[in-house]
Amino acid sequence: MPSLCTLEWGGKFHDFSWYLLGKLTFSPRANAQSLGLTCEYNLGKHIHLMLRFNGYEVRMHRGYKVDYFGAPNPKFAPTTQDRSYVMTSISYDFGDLRLSGRNPTRL
């Protein structure tokens, strides 16, 4: 049975906010650990910037490999995979959008 442990922490200062998220996952097939930092900045009322750094590692146990879902095979050696990434986004919040005076929930 897989188990999961998470830790989340963050803060905000004026238009800047940050979040730190750590995860540990343990299962018979693999163990994973990640630590991510997400930074967000509001340029104005509607424009938002985001930058995320995430260190992510997966350790496959002996007998398993990626894309193999059969019975455990002792010939498969344990592997460690670095799945770290950097992600950015720019978003625009349209706020209270009206379509031809109609209620958008009743289209």
Query: Domain extents for the chain?
Result: 3-95
pLDDT in tens, the chain (107 residues): 667 888 889 999 999 999 999 999 999 899 999 999 999 999 988 899 999 999 999 999 999 988 888 888 889 999 999 999 999 999 998 876 555 555 555 44
| Contact indicator for 25, 3 with CB cutoff of 8 Å | yes
Number of residues that make up the chain? 107
How large a percentage of the chain has pLDDT more than 70? Answer: 87
Q: Where are the beta strands (DSSP E) in the chain?
A: 3-13, 16-26, 30-42, 47-60, 79-82, 85-92
Between the alpha carbon of residue 77 and those of residues 30, 45, 51, the distances in Å are 12, 52, 36
| Contact indicator for 42, 31 with CB cutoff of 8 Å | no
